[in-house]
Structure 1
Amino acid sequence: MQQYIYLLINFFTVIICFIFSFHQKIRFSRYFSPFLTASLIVGAVFVAWDAWFTKIGVWWFNDKYLLGIRLFGLPLEELLFFICIPFACIFTYYCLDKFFKLDWKPLPQKIFVLISIFGALLISSWFCDRIYTFITFLSTGCSLSILYFILKVKWIGKVSFVYLLLMPGFLMVNGILTGTGLESPIVNYNPEHFIGLRILTIPVEDVVYGYELILWNVFLFELFRKNEEKTVVEVEA
């Protein structure tokens, strides 16, 4: 049974969201194609990052919790992670955005983004000798800069709030992956490559890593969703 644990984590993360995506008041199922396209593109980048860090020993996986199928040097379950976790997050974001007004005013959002960028870049420079910390905070700071100043997105505050609301679920899922409730972690980290600050058993870098993952998934999902809706309108016209 142990070899199914990571697979079951993915399954239980996504199954309820998947079922409710067909609800008539939600109808997220209309956007499966934009979501899948977005998650595959973003996932390709994160899988490359993941494979690189696995190869150089930043982290590694406990085989007793895995099926034993590997692609690109990564467990199948890890690849599914980059679809299941974004699905649950994007579904939650879509539902909350649909039924509640979560948009931030421009000034508070700008202040939040500037502080976040400055903080991320400061931490990355301070811990430049810890590769997980350095890469994660640097890339997140750059991502926020690109999204806000170049791509001009207006939803960073809103997505950040939704991500905060998802923290209990994140802590539960990532907690199990990093050893909470298990004899040993599913994902192990080399202490030389990260700060060592943890939330329960979760390296703080994982929170930032997940945040960046969701930011880019939302960006591409919104882009592809709008394109699909525009195509449908043009066809109906």
Structure 2
Amino acid sequence: MMPYTYILINFFTIIICFLASFDKRIQFHKLFGKFLISSAIVAIPFIGWDIWFTAKGVWWFDLRYTMGFKMAGLPIEEWLFFFCIPFACVFTYYCLDKFFNLDWANAFNNLIVFAAVIILSVTGLLFYDRIYTLVTIIVTIFTLCYLHFIGKKEWIGKASFVYLVLMPGFFAVNGILTGSLIQSPVVNYNPDEFMGIRMGTIPVEDAVYGYSQFLLIIYFFKKLTESKEQKIPSY
């Protein structure tokens, strides 16, 4: 079972959401194409980041937990990770937005953006010599500033709330990948390249990394789905 650990993590992350996508009340399966495009757009720079950091030894993978197939230095399971995890996240966002009114969370847009930028900026200045910390902070600040000040997106609060709802899943998946419930981590981190603050076994940077990735995928997903809706004539 050990060589299938990572692929099974991906599988169990996605399978329930995938099956539920065909529910008549949800019909998320009709948006699979939009999801794949938005996820791929975001995956390209994030996979590049992953390849770079793996090559530099910022993090590395215990190949005993993988099937042994690699592309550009990354296990094939890691490539799938950039589609499986976002699928579960976007599906959850879609369902919560569809069945519940979460617009109240958007009242906190300014607070979320300004507080996050200040906290991240201070952290970046304190840990500028830790490359994982610094790059994650730069990407997240850029993402928030672009969405809020340039894109003027009103859903940042809503998306941030959904990301909090996703935290139990985040701790389950990332926890196993970083060593919870298994003998050793699937993903190992160079202690000189991150702050060293962990939530259980998970570096705190992982949560910030995931937040920026989530926001960007939601941005492109909304852009694609909303443009489709605008083409439908009203009578």
Task: Please report the TM-score for the alignment, with normalisation by the length of structure 1.
Answer: 0.96
Aligned 1:74-223 pairs, distance under 5 A: 74-104=74-104, 107-223=107-223
Q: In the TM superposition, what is the alpha-carbon distance from 1:230 to its structure 2 partner?
A: 3.1
**Is residue 121–residue 137 contact of structure 2 (8 Å, CA) maintained in 1?**
yes
Deviation per residue, 1:83-107 (Å, 9 max, x gap) = 0000000000000000111113665
SS of equivalent residue, structure 1 residue 179: coil
SS of equivalent residue, structure 2 residue 104: coil
**Is residue 118–residue 141 contact of structure 1 (8 Å, CA) maintained in 2?**
no
SS of equivalent residue, structure 1 residue 60: strand
Deviation per residue, 1:154-204 (Å, 9 max, x gap) = 111111100101101100100000000111100000000000000010000
**Is residue 117–residue 142 contact of structure 1 (8 Å, CA) maintained in 2?**
no
Correspondence 1:8 to 2:8: yes
Structure 1 unaligned spans of 5+: none
Q: What is the percent sequence identity of the aligned residues?
A: 51
Task: Please report the TM-score for the alignment, with normalisation by the length of structure 2.
Answer: 0.97
Correspondence 1:32 to 2:32: yes
SS of equivalent residue, structure 1 residue 193: coil
| More displaced stretch, 215-224 vs 96-105 | 96-105
| More displaced stretch, 99-108 vs 69-78 | 99-108
SS of equivalent residue, structure 1 residue 91: helix
Correspondence 1:230 to 2:233: no
State the distance in 1 between where 2:138 and 2:105 align: 26
State the distance in 2 between where 1:105 and 1:211 align: 16
How many residues align? The count is 235
CA RMSD between the two structures: 1.3
SS of equivalent residue, structure 1 residue 188: strand
